[in-house]
Amino acid sequence: MMDALDSPSHPDEQSESGEAVAHRLLEGISSHAIFMLDADGNIISWPAPAVALYGHDAEAVIDRTVRLLFADDEDGSEPNPLPEEFFEEPKTDVVEFEHWHRRADESVFWGTLTLSPLWNETFHGYAAVSQDTTTTKEYERMLERQNDRLKEFTDILAHDLRNPLNIIEGNMTLYEDTGDEKHLKTINETIKRMGRLVEDLLRVARQGNVITDPEPTDIGDVIETAWQSLNADAGVTLRYETIPSVSSEPDRLCELFENLFQNAVDHGGGDVTVRVGPLDTGFFIEDDGPGISDEHKGDVFNHGFTTSDDGHGYGLSVVRTIVNAHGWDIIATDARSGGARFEVTGIDFLG
């Protein structure tokens, strides 16, 4: 007697063919675009996930080279990540290419393309698997920036603490030789300066951790909080143009604006006007103060750099550290008014 579980529910029901199952699998995978290439590298199948990833319909890509998917002019990348001679001879091993890819709407993403040769006694072409790995790429970049900042941090720490330690050592020797208590006063002042320096460096280090749990953030609210904490003179003015919400760590973003606002006031005086507004992939903060000289534009974000006699040079360093922790970029340039302008870019706005 046949068990009920073994019997078909309908006498005429038949198993799907292997080709139908394969087609259904390719259409059903949403995290990867899986398509086929012939031996010359031309696209011969283009399922729905590939349409979703690239935005091209099948008519736009079928029988065209797979190279059309790459963006050769992004981020200084070398053109043609697939060597010209790659398809001249059939391959036997799986090959993986990482490069910028371009969608039909001209947007780009960092993608991984894996080509697997198809053999069944004879060579039939390649199974191509494409995946958007932009998030992984951005995370790797953040880690690289964090490591760069860590090395810079340790170099500055060793350099900036060596000098006050020498002062303490020298004045201690002088005190032991002369008994003059003025040397003890110098030692005490130097110890206090070292304490302030260590606090500044720790502040930079704490802000540099890569942000792993961002949250939707209304930039307008953050700017209002940062501006109120400034306690600026009545003559200082803020002009704000609406910026879309971002994914960020709000407290660190608030400190970013606090430092940039304070920098504008410190250099622009009690009647400075500060403007904040949107860019295509970010925002700007600028003022109508004296601006930044060309010789200093490349140095303003360095740890310890300052043009002020009483400054420690860590305000803009903290700004860059916070920006990099978010995976963004920042540059210093000139405002139309001649003042300083800072542009934060590389942001994916929400909504």
Q: What are the tens digits of pLDDT across the range 176-235?
A: 999 898 889 888 888 887 777 677 666 666 655 667 788 999 999 999 999 988 877 778
Integer angstrom CA distances of residue 73 from 60, 67, 99, 136, 279? 21, 13, 11, 21, 21
| pLDDT tens-place string over residues 308-342 | 555 555 668 888 888 888 889 999 999 998 999 99
The whole-number pLDDT of residue 201 equals 65
Residue entry with tokens 């005086």: 269
Evaluate if residue 96 carries a pLDDT over 70. yes
Distance (Å, whole) CA 244 – CA 277? 10
Residues in the chain: 351
Determine the angle formed by the axes of helices 182-207 and 315-325, rounding to 10 degrees: 20
Give the Å distances, CA to CA, from 229 to 232, 246, 259, 314.
Answer: 8, 22, 11, 18
- Residue from 73, 174, 82 nearest 130 by CA: 82
Neighbouring-strand partners of residue 175:
none
Q: How high is the pLDDT of residue 66? A: 93
Cα angle: 227, vertex 228, 234; to 5 degrees? 85
Q: What is the pLDDT of residues 18-57, one digit of tens each?
A: 455 445 555 555 558 999 999 999 999 999 999 999 999 9
Confidence (pLDDT) at 35:
94
Binning pLDDT at 50, 70 and 90, where does residue 129 land? very high
The answer on pLDDT for 9 being more than 80 is no
pLDDT at 351: 67
More confident residue, 229 or 61: 61
296-305 pLDDT tens trace: 787 788 766 5
Residue entry with tokens 């130097």 = 190
Residue 101 near residue 69, CB atoms below 8 Å: yes
pLDDT at 198: 73
Residue 16 to residues 8, 48, 237, Cα–Cα distance (Å): 14, 20, 71
Q: b/e map of 175-207 (b: 16 or more CB within 10 Å)?
A: beeeeeeebeebbeebeeebeebeebbebbeeb
Residue 65 gets which letter from DSSP?
Answer: B
- Judged against a pLDDT cut of 70, whether residue 90 lies above it is answered with yes
